[in-house]
């Protein structure tokens, strides 16, 4: 077991309440450097809330949270530069051109370059990495859904983050776009050792990309482990079987 300082993310007893509704009850987990953690769960399980608290976009009700050694509720600009964020859907800057926007946003990261991590990523190199070379001079509003999403990822990593948040990154992708996206994520983890926290509804995606899977239901973690371990543990034929068994039994428990 690694010590807390070495974990990229450490969450202890996290709770979130909106009025009388409890969205997160006692969530505890850790993410180690270079690890890809997939958070699964039905709609309303608290996935997005969790990720938004870790991104510093939302205040929590209780519990201790550390991201890159800092409480995200008080994260400063230097901390912000080490974290990359790709949210569910973005349609901003529709009049900008691809290269223009990447170069512009990258500029914000330049003061935070270190000897080990040159920031920002060169715009052209990044455009090639996400496969948008042909669209570099196109305006954002003319991009297809998949291209737009790849650009969102490019923006998320333009500052060469040590930790990347991906909130349902492939929703609405066709199989080819999904395949290319998975290849991109693997390159990030293999070549750059980026730590990734992703939420998804796609179990196949989770078992392909994630080192470890966390299943949230009703604001609680109901299971965690490697995709293979979860599958055998629940004695299902696939991660999907395991997921269905777990979520159904947990929802029965909550009905009361």
- Find the helix packing angle between 98-107 and 145-157, rounded to 10°: 20
CB of 59 to other proteins, least distance (A): 8
Among 92, 137, 191, 255, binds other proteins (CB under 8 A): 92
Listed residue (214, 220, 180, 186) closest to 200, CA to CA: 214
Q: Nearest CA to 250 among 2, 29, 34, 42? A: 42
* Shortest Å, Cβ 232 to other proteins: 35
Q: Does 113 bind other proteins (CB under 8 A)?
A: no
Cα separation, 47 vs 20, whole angstroms = 19
Tell me which stretch binds other proteins (CB under 8 A): 5-13, 46-54, 182-190, 236-244: 46-54
Instruction: Give 95 or 252: the residue with its C-beta nearer to other proteins.
Output: 95
Tell me whether residue 89 or residue 249 sits nearer to other proteins (CB atom): 89
Residues 132-171 interacting with other proteins (rule: CB under 8 A):
155, 159, 167
Q: How far apart are CA 20 and CA 17, in angstroms?
A: 7
Among 90, 131, 234, 238, binds other proteins (CB under 8 A): 90
Q: Which of residues 41 and 227 has its CB atom nearest to other proteins in the complex?
A: 41
Q: How far is the CB of 92 from other proteins (least distance, A)?
A: 4
SS3 at position 87:
coil
**Backbone angles phi and psi of 242, in degrees to 5:** -60, -45
Q: Applying CB under 8 A, which of residues 95, 116, 125, 175 lies at the interface with other proteins? A: 95
Q: Which residues bind other proteins (CB under 8 A)?
A: 48-49, 51-52, 55, 57-58, 77-78, 80-81, 85, 87-96, 100, 104-105, 108-109, 111-112, 155, 159, 167
């Amino acid at each position: 077991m690694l010590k807390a300082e070495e974990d990229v993310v450490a969450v202890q007893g996290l709770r979130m309440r909106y009025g009388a509704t409890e969205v997160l009850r006692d969530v505890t987990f850790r993410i180690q450097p270079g690890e890809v953690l997939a958070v699964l769960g039905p709609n309303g399980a608290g996935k997005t809330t969790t990720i938004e608290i870790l991104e510093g976009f939302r205040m929590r009700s209780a519990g201790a949270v550390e991201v890159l050694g800092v409480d995200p509720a008080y994260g400063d600009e230097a901390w912000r530069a080490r974290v990359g964020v790709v949210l569910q859907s973005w349609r901003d800057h529709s009049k900008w051109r691809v290269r223009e926007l990447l170069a512009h946003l990258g500029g914000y990261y330049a003061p935070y370059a270190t000897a080990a991590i040159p920031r920002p990523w060169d715009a052209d190199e990044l455009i090639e990495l996400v496969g948008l070379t042909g669209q570099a001079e196109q305006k954002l509003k003319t991009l297809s859904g998949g291209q737009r999403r790849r650009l969102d990822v490019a923006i998320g990593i333009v500052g060469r983050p040590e930790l990347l948040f991906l909130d349902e990154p492939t929703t609405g992708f066709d199989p080819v776009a999904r395949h290319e996206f998975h290849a991109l994520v693997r390159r990030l983890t293999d070549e750059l050792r980026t730590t990734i926290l992703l939420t998804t509804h796609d179990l196949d995606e989770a078992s392909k990309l994630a080192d470890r899977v966390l299943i949230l239901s009703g604001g609680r973690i109901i299971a965690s482990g490697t995709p293979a371990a979860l599958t055998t543990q629940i004695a299902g034929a696939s991660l999907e079987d395991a997921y269905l068994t777990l979520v159904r039994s947990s929802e029965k428990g909550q009905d009361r």
